[in-house]
Amino acid sequence: MVSRSLVISLFRLIALCLFSLTLSVTARAQESFDERSLTQKVKDAVVTIRHMDRAGNENGVGTGFVIDSDGLVATSLHVIGEARMVEVLFADGSRHEPVAVHAWDRALDLAVLRLDRKGLPALSLGDSDALASGEKVIAVGNPMGLERSVVSGLISGFRRFEHARMIQLAIPIEPGNSGGPLFNPQAEVLGLLNMKSTLTANLGFATPINALKPLLARPNSMTMNKWLRLGALDEGLWTSSMGALWSSKVDRISVQGKGAGFGGKSLCHFHQEPSTFPYELKVRIKLGDESGAAGLIFGSDGLERQYGFYPSNGQLRLTRFDGPSVYSWNILTQVQTPHYRLGDWNTLSVRHEEDRILCFVNGQLVIESKDRALRLGQVGLAKFRDTQADYSNFMFNPTPAEKVSFEPDSDLTQLLEKIQINLGGNPSSMQALLASIGDQSPYQLQDLAELLERRTDQIRRLALESHRIQIQKQLRTELKQAEPQRNLLRAALLVAKHDYPELNVKAYEDAVNRMAEDIRDYHSTEAGESDLIQSLIDFLFKENGYHGSFSDYENAANSYLNKVIDDREGLPITLSVLFIELADRLGIKHVTGLPLPGHFLVKHQPKGGEVALIDVFNSGKQLTFDEADALASQYQVNNVSSEDMASATKKDIIIRMLSNLRYFTRSNSGLGDSLPYLDLMIAIDEEDAGLRLERATICLRIGRRDMARSDFEWLLERRPEGLQLDRIREALRSL
């Protein structure tokens, strides 16, 4: 029999051995994570990235690292900026300008630059999926411009943000660190430093390196020549001056950075100008910081003299700028009005007449001036200080249907009218008004505020519902035409306008027309269809970086054609719509959509020529029918014969786009939010019994009994084949 003391001794011996082994492993791990030797090992592959303003001056600094010895450098997209000149600096002091942006992903904030340099020291990419909380890591970057600074810390967790899973770090991240590599002890890159917490200094986030790998497998390359024009102002419409960064995306213009004029002033003039009084101009605007100032200019000499109507610190100003400095600026009127919505989009409008200036915000007249010091001149946009601002739907001399209403709103309650009259007036008159209401004034005013909030919400819902009904009518009218007369581009843009009421459809139609003109400029009128097809593929996917959204497939933006044009990223079907419409404008005949299950291709079938199948989701790759069948088999059990499949009609394409939106919305937001797309599909295809049954079932589940009853009654009245009418009668009786 073993003695108790012997057992205790054995346990002590085992514990001692385990403790020694743990110490040994820990020591080896700590020894292997030698910051000094790791830094020496990787320093030549870590680079400083500087992006410049249009004058070539440094506008920001970040970090990157070499991932391929043939000249590929990875970083964060926000480090290089869009339409910016970029310079890459190595540890040996050499400087290089990239020849291309090899790949990028806006949602993941990733970019890969291509340099014209070979034999570079490249870093190894690790497996970020194998990471666990508590692991020690090291980061190398350029915080506050201090090049190749080193900091170590721990992985403190993983967090899901809007578009991606991020690595949470117990590491301080400062400006200049962005895009830098995050290493494990083996000097493998686990992620790219991305952003810092606004709450505490010792907390940051990194994009997992595995998010970069699919991008490398399917690059969406663009030469720097093209990149520098990405988002640039349309030079045929606008001219900017006095610094700041002005950029545009079809119907939206953005400005950021401080202008070179006094007070950070910067101007952007529209090329068309008035020749007689009266004239009107209008723009929607949103300020990133309400302490800044940005808005409309008119009566401008193109230099220092102009009128300006703009919000500043929550107030609205009409200013006459008579020279380059504040000493020659005259604030003609400054008002505070409840019609201006802080932190939101607002519509600014000006009507300049022979003897007066009328200024409106959101349709309400807020300023009237008799100033006549400046006469006819240029019109446009302006910003001041270090303001970031977005403008959309700029209109000069709008058509009658687009003119702002000058009629005052007379539907509010008498009490509200009295309050509005006294707001911004003499404080004593407001006090007298409140005293006249009596002891109940606080309660009455609070009740009034709550009532107005409820009414505002109701009116906004009604406005959206009314807008969507109009879109239903427009789409139904468009798609009821014969197939050749249907305008697929306009129909696809109307799908987007359904969710973006302010979308300027014509602006995007004009943008697609300009794209076709750019392609045509490279060819003679005798160019064959096959040459034009290849040029179209090159233009979209090689020169301009359009690409399939592999990393963010179910993002609704991929289904909105305006967003696809802006972001150059989309689903197979939206990219196909753009391709088909450009082909039509180039005079290429017989280009249609091939609706494979789970995927969508473009088919070019010239008379007497060889059929070409084009996978626009994969950079315009051309497929055989067998390859298309294999692709379709991934989504459907039964065999698919793409060669025998009919081309999609324009109506089919729009229904499929809406079906995608319905599915994505249902998955992400729930049944109720998917209903508007089902409503739109039924408006287009009123006799589709399956859609009616689906809507009735959803309405029944979410408590919209009247709508469910209406659809059930419609089905029983028409008695379509294939439906179990007894079950429909039973469902109707239950209501």
Active site residues: 78, 109, 178
Integer CA distances (angstroms), 488 to 148, 447, 471, in order: 52, 50, 15
Contact call for residues 569 and 547 (beta carbons, < 8 A) = yes
DSSP annotation of 646: P
Contact call for residues 487 and 551 (beta carbons, < 8 A) = no
Q: Which of 273, 333, 278 is nearest to 308 (CA)?
A: 333
Distance CA 325, CA 524 (A): 52
Q: Which of 438, 176, 143, 397 is nearest to 279 (CA)?
A: 397
Contact call for residues 319 and 308 (beta carbons, < 8 A) = yes
Distance CA 594, CA 573 (A): 10
Q: How far is C-alpha 396 from the chain's CA centre?
A: 26
| Residue 199 amino acid letter | L
- Whose tokens are 């009107």? That residue is 280
Contact call for residues 106 and 163 (beta carbons, < 8 A) = no
| 701 Rama sector, left if φ>0, alpha if ψ -120 to 50, beta otherwise | alpha
Contact call for residues 332 and 319 (beta carbons, < 8 A) = yes
Name 672's Cβ contacts closer than 8 Å, sequence gap at least 6: 698, 702
Distance CA 88, CA 65 (A): 10
CA angle 690, 695, 700 (to 5 degrees): 125
DSSP annotation of 145: G
**What is the total residue count of the chain?**
735
Distance CA 361, CA 342 (A): 12
- Give bridge partners of residue 378 from the DSSP assignment: 300
Strands (E) located in 322-445: 329-335, 346-352, 357-361, 364-369, 378-384, 389-396
Is the CA virtual torsion 307, 312, 317, 321 positive or negative? negative
Distance CA 332, CA 562 (A): 39
- Give bridge partners of residue 241 from the DSSP assignment: 267
H/E element, 668: helix 650-669
Q: How is residue 645 written in tokens?
A: 């499949």
Distance CA 178, CA 176 (A): 5
Question: What phi and psi, each to the nearest 5 degrees, are found at residue 721?
Answer: -70, 150
Distance CA 711, CA 691 (A): 10
- Give bridge partners of residue 277 from the DSSP assignment: none
Question: What phi and psi, each to the nearest 5 degrees, are found at residue 567?
Answer: -95, -10
Q: Which of 256, 192, 225, 276 is nearest to 545 (CA)?
A: 225
Question: What phi and psi, each to the nearest 5 degrees, are found at residue 348?
Answer: -100, 135
Contact call for residues 62 and 192 (beta carbons, < 8 A) = no
Q: How is residue 313 written in tokens?
A: 């610190």
- Give bridge partners of residue 648 from the DSSP assignment: 593
Reported as half-sphere exposure (CB side, CA atoms, 13 A), residue 248 has a value of: 22
Q: How is residue 239 written in tokens?
A: 């001219």
Distance CA 298, CA 130 (A): 59
Neighbours of 232 (CB within 10 A): 14
